[in-house]
Amino acid sequence: LIGTSVGGALCTYLAGAYENTGKIGKVLLMVPGYALRNKGFYNLDFEHCGNTGFPLVQSEKIPLEWEEMTFQYDFMYVRSIGQLIRLGQIGEEYVQRVLAPVWLLYAEKDPVVDPEHCAKAASHFSNLRMCHVYLESGHNLLFGDERADVCRRIHEFLQAE
């Protein structure tokens, strides 16, 4: 399983929930979205917000040659933020159930995901094979200056037994 951001939280849930099936070989988590850095989101009324949109600031620079291949969102529905928060919490609840080998990559300066929750998860994975914290990257590890190292670590994960 490979997951980034909220997909990392989802992969954690799947790896923990289906551990006993014998179908989970290894897990790569990149900035898994167990919790949001901006705690103000936790005070929003997700149940009664209707179609209210929340503007998103595009703060990370995407290399010019990749610009046409990327998706950028101008806003997100408030109810979707609530769903992301809940999925992150569920993923975090399943960390201790994951028995498969785990590779974890996250960023100290991530403006979206709270790195403290990634560090906490790292201490609870029973089979953590590799954990690397990028000190200068943001949320999108593959778009940052350290992307060559990220790609090298992904390659190592893919080649590992």
What whole-number percentage of the chain has pLDDT above 70? 88
Give 160's contacts (C-beta < 8 A, 6+ positions apart): 26, 101, 103, 129
pLDDT-wise least confident of 32-36, 37-41, 47-51, 143-147? 47-51
- The pLDDT, as a whole number, for residue 57 is 57
53-55/2-4 β-pairing? unpaired
Q: How confident is the model at residue 24 (pLDDT cuts 50, 70, 90)?
A: very high
Average of per-residue pLDDT across 60-80: 61
Supply the pTM of this predicted model. Answer: 0.85
Type of residue at 32: P
Q: How far apart are the first and last CA of the chain?
A: 14
